[in-house]
Amino acid sequence: MRKNILTATLLIISLIIATPIVITNTSNATQMLHVDFSDLTPSTKKEVECLADNIFYEAGYEPKEGKIAVALVTLNRVKHGFEDSVCGVVKQKTKSTCQFSWWCEDKPRMSSLHKSEKLSERQKVVYNDIKDLAVYVYMNYEVMKDNTMGALYYHANYVNPNWKLKKTVVIGNHIFYTPY
- pLDDT for res 95: 87
Q: How confident is the model at residue 105 (pLDDT cuts 50, 70, 90)?
A: confident
Contact 133, 68 (CB under 8 A): yes
Q: What percent of the chain has pLDDT over 70?
A: 77
For the cut 50, the answer to whether the pLDDT of residue 166 exceeds it is yes
Please state, in angstroms and rounded to a whole number, the distance separating the CA atoms of residues 179 and 164: 8
Q: pTM of the entire structure?
A: 0.80
Please state, in angstroms and rounded to a whole number, the distance separating the CA atoms of residues 120 and 58: 18
Question: Tens digits of per-residue pLDDT, 5-60?
Answer: 433 333 333 333 333 333 334 344 467 888 999 999 999 999 999 999 999 999 99
